[in-house]
Structure 1
Amino acid sequence: MLPSLELPEWFPEWALPSEPPGTSRREDPTLPTSQTTADDSQSGTNCAASGEGEPEHVQPEYRDGFIRVPPREIIVVPSQDRTVRRKLRGIHLFMITINGTLGTGLYWRGGQILELGGPLAVLLSFLLVGLLSWAVMQCITEMLCIWPIPGALSVYVSEFVDVELGIAVGIAYWFTYSVSFSALIATSAAEFGFWPGVNGNTGIYGGIIYLCIPLSLVFFNALGIEMYAFIEVVSGTIKLLFLAVIVIALIAINLGVGPSHRGYIGVQYWNAPTAFDTDAATNWGTAFLMCLSIATFAYVGVEIVAASALEARWPRRTVEDETRRTTSDMSRQSNDTLIGNSVKFSSIFISVLATIAYSVSGMLASFDIPRDDCQLPRLSWINSTESAECSTSPDSSQTNTASAFVAIAAQSGIPHLADIFNFFLVFTSLSCANTNLYVASRALFGLTSRLDGGSGQSWFLRLFSWFGKTNRRGVPMKAMVLSAVAFWWVPFLQLRGGTTTSTPIGMFIEILAEMGSVGVLIVWSCECLAFIRYYHCITSHRAALEEKKVPQVRRWDRHDYPYRSHGQPVLAYIALTGCIFVLIVVNAASLWNGFHKLPFLSSYLIVLSFIALWILLKLVRGAKWSFVDLSNSQRVVKKLLDLHDIRMGAT
């Protein structure tokens, strides 16, 4: 029964409360249209609400010399086994994104950048890439607050840029997090090797690290979203506490706590802020560009909120809220607009938090350890004279580690501090792997949940549609299992090739891990382009959007628009330029001092594969070699309403 409330003129038909949740109504575009009478419209609404099927047949009307056939209403109700449960609150989205972002990049990449480009490169790299990630997230957030839908990143590109490009973006995004899940398991194996009792024990590596731990992560992801969200909140809180402990410990060590009694306050190691690894680059500028490429890996994950937003809780006002608000107030902000509030905070501020965390921790590390310390991680593909000197030095017996923080703790002389820091690193890697599996499963689910698996479709579409189903707990179990097993075999290769990149197997695993960060840069670029076209689309068709009263896309209406990002569209152009610059120029800097297979394949194999996939999709689908046409006002209005329908149908 409809509430006794006068709805505003712009209130869309698909959002009437008499409809079942997730039900949308759209006129069949294949039939002639006409202006329906009030009785006809009410009759159709009653039919949709009662679920009695199509409205009774109405005789065609002869008017103005033409036969007017009343529009036929099609009731679209998404299948129950193709929807997830919207149970995630803002804190859940925040912690999921924290777990996916603050991974090994926090503890490992900073030390590698310090060795390669010196203290100044650590600060500038994390700050500049952090600014780039913030600019990208401003574009994504604006669209995400309107349409928190399955496969959001893929859909935005498909709707506003190119359909086949959107599909390629979805596949690249799934690949990034599926392969990162396995790469993080492999990385954790190297971190387990810090402890002598584990290092070299193939039974522990194969039976526990490579088999039991991934099985446990699959089990966590198979739980209902409520329980999974609780696990993410707990692990995210622990991870933030670990970060706080490390920052406090680094400050204390620098002030002289511990047997080493350093007390340098960073002055000694900053005497040459632009010192760099001369084996890797011929000048500091080239080394700095290589540091920018490494820092990009640390920011993979800031966009995870777009993958988890499809399960964000749909806000509802209480009775008290409704009585306090006037009808005019309610017309300005509907419940549909409030959904953006659930994702807004995480989407905006995760990149800021990551930038602060990386910059501060990296700076503190540069105060406590010199750039040429033998325990800092080095680029594996460089024939380093420093590494040769370290292998013959009296300190070569020091425990090998891939983290600057663990090295600092070991040199501080504080008992067991290095073991504690290494445990932090292992926990961080595994919690990040758990989140990456979640993101990969939702990315695959978003790609396949709206596929038609009917008998009239081709076999591969029916196969893919099978992965777009959820179980009784609302978990896309099939998509999750495929995401887990797709690259599960990769860590097992280390049983034969070891955990170093000096072997072909180690190099192969390193390339896969690096491809993940490059894949996210491709996705970022496409999202910036999608926002640019979306921005110009709604600006060009402002009159039509006002006339049709299309909600939530009128950017000039502060009360109806969920979130308006800053400095647009200039910021989007800057972000797009920055992403392309990193992809083409920055990633090529590692080749300026000589060609090396590992950095070349890590930087450009996924780019070439992405372009080839896009071309293949164009050929197979017989599509036009042009972007989506956004020049027609009627088509644009329908496109925006269709996106609203997807959002409503996902609940």
Structure 2
Amino acid sequence: MATYEKGVLPDPEKEAAREVQPAPAYDTEGRTASVVFKNEEFQKLSFWTRNGLNLESFKRREGYDTTNQLNQTMKSRHLHMIAIGGSIGAGFFVGSGSALSKGGPGALLIDFGIIGVMMFNVVYALGELAIMYPVSGGFYTYSTRFIDPSWGFAMGWNYVFQWAIVLPLELTVAAITVGYWDSDISVAVWITVFLVVIVFINIWGVLGYAEEEFWSSILKLSATIIFMIICLVMVCGGGPSEGIYSEYWGARNWYNPGAFANGFKGVCAVFVTAAFAFSGTELVGLAAAEASNPVRQLPGAIKQVFWRITLFYILGLFFVGLLIPYDDENLLGANPYVSVDASPFVLVGKYAGLKGFDSFMNVVIMLSVISIGMSGVYGGSRTLTALAEQDYAPKIFAYVDKSGRPLPSTAAICIFGVLAYVNLTSDGPTVFDWLLALSGLAALFTWGSICLAHIRFRAAWKYQGHTLDEIPFKAVGGVAGSYLGLFLIVLVLIAQFYIALFPLGGETSAENFFKSYLALPIVMLFWVCGYFWKRTGWLTIATIDVDSGRRHLDLDQVRADNAERALWPAWKRILNLMF
């Protein structure tokens, strides 16, 4: 790796002598020649081959670069819906019930608000990096490039296993949701049905996932909006006479039983549930690698995160805290992910006397958790493929067929779905708790790495004489926002460490500790394995390469656009940040 003198641009002749990946050329719409070639060649294929419905489509794709063999055909509407509704699933609809019982409505708002602020900065930092460096499997590649190749190895495998373990968790919740209507049919039957559905949709490749996410996100967002409107009516006392909300309800639950359960420890205990609920928010950055024009599509999708955090998480859970007391017996349970009755979204409909609303919300929950299962297969398989392309995983996982599907990687993640059946055995709940412990904090390490990679990218960018005007899309909070995000992540890890040592209603033990904090030793193990595999150390600012593979745009046009925006009135600049 070359070392650059501070404030001095690299010498062109020296750079030409270095063996670096050439920067891709971009057309006037921000697409690489590779993207145009892929799309043109893809459209020449037959309908059956494009959609993966004949044997020819399963053959290896030849004649494409190895840095991103995936189909880059995802549309703006897909990215927008993945950003605004992609991660709404069991953590939000079901896990919020457990969080309410542990911390109370006050803790619910504080913890989800803190995680929301953190995610706002994480996603913007990711958006800046993804537009500057359009590569597949971006989360771990940015850690490799700007932090440490060994740490990048750890983050890549951490992300793969995070989604591989989330898949059986979501399958189990979906199967148990059906038991709300008919408990006579074995959960194993529904796990099998939903796993087959997930495998079938993934046969259709990226567009199958994108279309499923588009429509399921519309359903989730519509249901949440309907829920909030109904809650507003219930709070004002407009509920049916058969229910408990037929008179003015107001904020009585904030006074009795109160705003906080279990005090400070309760606030700390809710953090991990909030983090689990936000898992998948970063998928919009991963999906950018398969977008047809990420320069134009990704910024708008990134900005939608603000609305999801504000309207759907914070406001939705605020109404939950108003209508359901934290000491409600239906919220209590050892494992909220195996009891869909614990969902406060279902309880509101039952208590209000709204016939059929509880069933409606259960349908939404079922489809939502299946959607997150889809995201698990998508996110895990794409990251595993990227690891293989960079020699961080066995080469078999670099296989991509003519329809743009990473078949071995997809199959590997889907195999983890069979772990959902362990919940049917006598020791199943214990095994399931350990699986949940593996995935509970994994996302925090991914988010922290994104913030740190952005901080170090900006430092290296400045060190090598570049200016902010050369960055086409800048994070709203800049480096300060990434520092804030990183600080909040460390804060959450400390809070969870405290709960691991002193659990709610339990005794301090090695088992309880590792059930709450197992992700840390797993990440450290991956980091050590990465070090012995690659034998690399922590990168210095002077050795970070910010030029190879960078998206080169018309800088004069970028500066002109920035100058034009600077002349806008304040209200227009604020709206541009949000939309």
TM normalised by structure 1 equals 0.71
User: For 1:213, what is the secondary structure of its paired residue?
Assistant: helix
Aligned mate of 2:251, from 253, 267, 270: 267
Aligned mate of 2:383, from 425, 443, 462: 443
2:152 aligned with 1:239: no
The equivalent of 1:457 in structure 2 is none
Structure 2 segments unaligned to the other structure (5+ residues): 1-11, 13-21, 36-61, 553-579
- Deviation, structure 1 residue 188: 1.6
- Deviation, structure 1 residue 200: 4.9
Distance in 1 separating the partners of 2:476 and 2:317 = 28
- Deviation, structure 1 residue 566: 3.0
Contact kept? 1:184, 1:430, Cα under 8 Å: yes
- Paired amino acid for 1:123: L
2:492 aligned with 1:482: no
2:420 aligned with 1:491: yes
The equivalent of 1:408 in structure 2 is 348
Distance 1:22 1:613, change over 3 A: same
Distance 1:13 1:131, change over 3 A: closer
The equivalent of 1:60 in structure 2 is none
- Deviation, structure 1 residue 348: 3.5
Identify the range of structure 1 (219-228 vs 84-93) with the bigger mean alpha-carbon deviation.
Answer: 219-228
- Deviation, structure 1 residue 81: 11
Identify the range of structure 1 (578-587 vs 137-146) with the bigger mean alpha-carbon deviation.
Answer: 578-587
- Deviation, structure 1 residue 377: 3.5
Distance 1:267 1:151, change over 3 A: closer
Q: Deviations over 1:555-584 (max 9, x none)?
A: 421xx4211123432222221121122123
Distance in 1 separating the partners of 2:510 and 2:330 = 25
2:561 aligned with 1:631: no
- Deviation, structure 1 residue 102: 0.7
- What does 1:181-260 correspond to in 2, within 5 Å? 181-195=167-181, 197=182, 199-202=183-186, 205-207=187-189, 209-254=190-235, 255-258=237-240, 259-260=242-243
User: For 2:86, what is the secondary structure of its paired residue?
Assistant: helix
The equivalent of 1:15 in structure 2 is 25
- Deviation, structure 1 residue 404: 0.9
Distance 1:490 1:423, change over 3 A: same
The equivalent of 2:47 in structure 1 is none
- Deviation, structure 1 residue 400: 7.4
- Deviation, structure 1 residue 355: 4.0
Contact kept? 1:299, 1:354, Cα under 8 Å: no
Distance 1:189 1:599, change over 3 A: farther
2:287 aligned with 1:304: no
The equivalent of 2:445 in structure 1 is 522
- Deviation, structure 1 residue 170: 0.7
2:311 aligned with 1:356: yes
- What does 1:427-442 correspond to in 2, within 5 Å? 427-442=367-382
The equivalent of 2:114 in structure 1 is 128
Contact kept? 2:23, 2:548, Cα under 8 Å: no
Contact kept? 1:555, 1:564, Cα under 8 Å: no
2:92 aligned with 1:106: yes
- Deviation, structure 1 residue 226: 3.1
Aligned mate of 2:519, from 606, 612, 637: 606
TM normalised by structure 2 equals 0.79
Distance in 2 separating the partners of 1:233 and 1:175 = 25
- Deviation, structure 1 residue 642: 3.6
Distance in 2 separating the partners of 1:356 and 1:238 = 15
- Paired amino acid for 2:440: S
Identify the range of structure 1 (164-173 vs 561-570) with the bigger mean alpha-carbon deviation.
Answer: 561-570
Distance in 2 separating the partners of 1:568 and 1:125 = 23
Distance 1:611 1:379, change over 3 A: same
Distance in 2 separating the partners of 1:13 and 1:276 = 54
Contact kept? 1:112, 1:377, Cα under 8 Å: yes
Contact kept? 1:141, 1:348, Cα under 8 Å: no
Distance in 2 separating the partners of 1:366 and 1:16 = 50
Q: Deviations over 1:291-336 (max 9, x none)?
A: 223211111111111211110113xxxxxxxxxxxxxxxxxxxxxx
Alignment: residue pair count:
495
2:532 aligned with 1:619: yes
User: For 1:180, what is the secondary structure of its paired residue?
Assistant: helix
- Paired amino acid for 1:568: G
Q: Percent identity?
A: 22
The equivalent of 2:320 in structure 1 is 365
Larger relative contact order (Cα-Cα within 8 Å, sequence gap ≥ 6)? 2
- Paired amino acid for 2:160: W
Distance in 1 separating the partners of 2:550 and 2:437 = 34
Distance 1:268 1:20, change over 3 A: closer
- Paired amino acid for 2:459: H
- Paired amino acid for 1:194: Y
- Paired amino acid for 1:556: L
2:357 aligned with 1:422: no
- Deviation, structure 1 residue 214: 0.7
User: For 1:641, what is the secondary structure of its paired residue?
Assistant: coil
Q: Deviations over 1:460-512 (max 9, x none)?
A: x7x72121121111111221111110x22211112223xxxxxx421321332
- Paired amino acid for 2:311: I
The equivalent of 2:42 in structure 1 is none
Distance in 1 separating the partners of 2:200 and 2:244 = 46
Contact kept? 1:293, 1:587, Cα under 8 Å: no
Contact kept? 1:130, 1:352, Cα under 8 Å: no
Distance 1:273 1:87, change over 3 A: farther
- What does 1:70-85 correspond to in 2, within 5 Å? 78-79=64-65, 83-85=69-71
Kindly name which structure, 1 or 2, has the bigger radius of gyration based on alpha carbons: 1
Distance 1:359 1:514, change over 3 A: farther
Distance in 2 separating the partners of 1:349 and 1:523 = 21
The equivalent of 1:578 in structure 2 is 488
Structure whose residues are more often helix by fraction:
2
Structure 1 segments unaligned to the other structure (5+ residues): 1-8, 24-75, 315-338, 382-398, 452-460, 498-503, 543-553, 646-651
2:403 aligned with 1:508: no
- Deviation, structure 1 residue 148: 2.6
Q: Deviations over 1:75-104 (max 9, x none)?
A: x97458961111112211122344531111
Distance 1:448 1:586, change over 3 A: same
The equivalent of 1:393 in structure 2 is none
Q: Deviations over 1:251-283 (max 9, x none)?
A: 233323221252333232121475544xxx4xx
User: For 1:128, what is the secondary structure of its paired residue?
Assistant: helix
2:471 aligned with 1:541: no
- Paired amino acid for 1:470: V
